[in-house]
Amino acid sequence: MALVISENFRALFYVPFYAAHAIGAYTAEGVEVTLRTSPSPAATVVALRDGAADLMWGGPLRVILSHAEDPMSDLVCFADVVRRDPFFVIGRGERLGFTMRDLARARLGVVSEVPTPWICLQDDLRLAGEDPAAMDLVTGRSMAENATALRAREIDAVQIFQPFAEELLRAGSEFYVWYAQANRGPTAYTMLVARRSVMARREQEFAAVTRAMARTLRWVAATPAAEITAALQEFFPDVASEVFAAAIDRYRELELWCTDPRPNPEGFARLHAAMRSSGALGRDVAYADCVREDLAAAAE
């Protein structure tokens, strides 16, 4: 019987999750895993809770919120994959010596599709003494729409992920990376998530999944970007191969992906602090309630 893994949504920074299927990592560890697409991150969590999926990948933010809302929640993260924030602030004109003060005075198009990137950027602004509530923000638009607005000079900067960032940087000399949010430091961004009750029934299979992810992370770290692009192009048929490869290289320079799946308490704490700072989280939630470390430790 196969484990069903639900895709959070299609994004290039999820490269290791697609790579696990492309290189046969699950099969190599003796477990059958079926990938199921999802219409939205929220639907992915619903599928997990309803038993339509056995595990998913997604932000620990959703696991933290589930425990804040229900102390009896059995959602748990168990393998770390994306350890830093994959979003960029791309702006018009070079900003040598960029600071959050520069950003606070720009007209910024912020991400609307998912909550974590803006929560983290708000925290960075507040830590620098800036007030996000006082900024000139454009909200409610998709990243694609914001990229179009930036090109049309309707906004000064956009918060965006790959491949949109790479495409803007290649569009002309007027666009620059003002800020790579990965530089805020380790931040628990995307992990494998399951229900403790399901894991208890299928312990060996989840251990094999964790070993497969460890195998995949080593492959992603050691494989040339062009080779990764060729292996995963079917997942991103609309992304030009040269853009795909450049995006992978940029993410690896930022140390976006883990080199092994061991959860990082520091990254969890930084995400938790950002959620508290933004008001998204009304009370503290314990790391041990949200994260299971033993499977990743055994996968080394």
Domain boundaries, the chain: 3-84+186-238+257-298, 88-184
Which helix (H) or strand (E) is 33 found in, with range? strand 33-36
The pLDDT of residue 1? 67
Rounded mean pLDDT for each run of 10 residues along the chain, 300 residues in total: 89 97 96 89 84 93 95 96 98 93 97 95 97 96 96 97 96 93 97 96 96 97 98 96 98 97 97 97 96 88
For 287, what's the count of Cα atoms within 13 Å in the CB-facing half-sphere?
Answer: 13
Round to whole Å and give the CA distance between 23 and 219: 9
The pLDDT of residue 121? 98
- Domain covering 88-184, topology: D-Maltodextrin-Binding Protein; domain 2 (3.40.190)
Biggest alpha carbon distance in the chain?
55
The pLDDT of residue 256? 98
Tokens matching residue 65:
């919120």
Give the homologous superfamily in CATH for domain 3-84+186-238+257-298. Answer: Periplasmic binding protein-like II (3.40.190.10)
The pLDDT of residue 236? 97
In this structure, are residues 268 and 274 in contact, taking their beta carbons and an 8 Å threshold? no
Asked if the domains 3-84+186-238+257-298 and 88-184 are classified in one and the same CATH topology, the answer is yes
Q: Is the whole model's pTM more than 0.75, yes or no?
A: yes
The pLDDT of residue 47? 85
Burial of 177 (0-12, 13-18, 19+ CB in 10 A): middle
